[in-house]
Each structure stands twice: as structure tokens, then as C-alpha cells.
Chain A
């Protein structure tokens, strides 16, 4: 296996959606190819560091404000289009 072939399979390997035979070939390649080992390891850590650090947070006050606005818009829509919701009631 060449390094370019390894890279092509990297996403499936990291996601654990790869057949046993390809997985064994990739892991055999990792045994002797230091560069691919480092790339694989640091790519895994890239995913983990983004997953573990919440970069965007929705503050409670903004959350409440947005929810109030959404509910009020939905109520208005329901009021303006009564048939649209009536017709979709389950069992009607």
C-alpha cells in the first residue's frame, strides 16, 4: 500500500466503517510508515479537539429571547393559516 492509498481510506478508517481486510492492510502500513502514523494520529486528534471544545455557545438570555420569538411567530402563522394546521391533525 502506498501513502496516497492510505490517505484515501483515512476517513473511513477513523470513522470505523471499513472492511476487515482493508483495515488490516492500513494497520500493516502504519506499522512501518511513520509519516502516515503521525498524520493518522494528528487527524484523529484534530477531530477530537474540535468535538471537545465548544466554540459557539448560545447564552441563556439569547436562547430565551429566540425561543419566545419563534413561538410567537408560530402562533401568528397558526392564527393566519388555521386550515393549514387543522387539516394535518392526526386522525383527521
Chain B
């Protein structure tokens, strides 16, 4: 089985030059960094806040904060990981402001003992793409991921959708590597469980 590959590549010398120039006040250089990562930041923000307006605000605030605080960026982590950390914090702040009653802190573990035990055990057949059209499929994927607890959803988005490594995800979220792995496993299993209800084999062991 092939390992999951990362989506954002290694920083290049060119990126280091842009970061250095931006740190010195070169807004044009910073704009190049914005162009490079704005789509990623917007996706992360939208997935966390689940609100378009909030996501737009998060993109603006995260990049502005990054520009203002570039002096504190040490270059020990990638610029992108550092930026994601700022964006995640901004997004969580807005989410908490909007729905404080439903929030679980990223620092807390969600106490559910058996939420990840597989119950739906059936192969997906035929392919989901054959069962549903693109619009329906996107709706199912959207609805399913929105149902995950926020702390699981954020880890899954960073690790599996945006392609950060486990260590980068831990760094961006201020979590330990074992905590990221534990949440990732539960996120993956819960999504799998919910998707299987839509995608399971119609005839045979997964009859509906």
C-alpha cells in the first residue's frame, strides 16, 4: 500500500529569499507568498469555521499577522507550517466566537470511548463516482466531514487534505505527535464509518 504523499513541497531557496525580503518590509515579496498559499489558508479556514465570511476574514487576518510578526519567524519550521498555525488559531477564535456552546478545545481530547470502533464493514462497490454524480458526491463528503468533532476535523484537514506531515500538523496545532496520530486515526475511522453508509455494496454483505 502506498504512503500518503505531501501536497505542499519543500521550501525552496526562492521561498527563503521571499521570506527574508518580506521580513525587511518588502510587501511585493510578501504578496508572492500570499499568492503561493492563499488557497490553502482559505480551505483550512473554511473547513474549520464552516462559514464563508469567517474564512475570508481569517485569510486576511492570518496573512496580516504573519507579515507583522515575520521578525519572530525563526526559520526552524517551514514558513507554510508557521502560517498554518496562525491561520488555525484565527479560525478557531472565530469559530468559538460564533458557536461557543458547541466548541471543544483543540487542547482537549474528546471523550468518546467507542466512536471509532468499525461497525459498518462492507466494501465500497461500485465506486462512489459511479454511484453518485459530482455534485451529490461533494455534498456527501461535505456533510460527512462537517459532522466530525472540530478537533478531529482540523487534524484530518491538515494531515490528509492539505498534506502536512504528522510532525508539521503537531507543530501547527501545538499538539504532541501521539495526540495528532490518535485524533487522525479516529477522524479517519469515523469518516470511513459514515461514508460506508453511502458507498457500501448494494448487493451482498452490505445490503441495504
Contacts and interface: CB of A to CB of B under 8 A. Distances in A.
Interface residues of B, number: 57
A45 B122 CA distance: 13
A35 interface: yes
B94 interface: no
Interface in B93-147: 116, 118, 121-124, 128, 137-138, 141-142, 145
A34 B9 CA distance: 37
Interface range on chain A: under 10, 10 to 19, 20 to 34, or 35 or more?
A: 35 or more
B68 A14 contact: no
Contacts of A39: 118, 121, 189, 192
A74 B42 contact: no
B27 interface: yes
A70 interface: yes
Given A70-B34, A88-B70, 14 more contacts: A11-B188, A14-B188, A15-B3, A41-B123, A42-B124, A47-B188, A53-B137, A55-B141, A70-B59, A71-B31, A74-B63, A74-B67, A78-B25, A88-B25
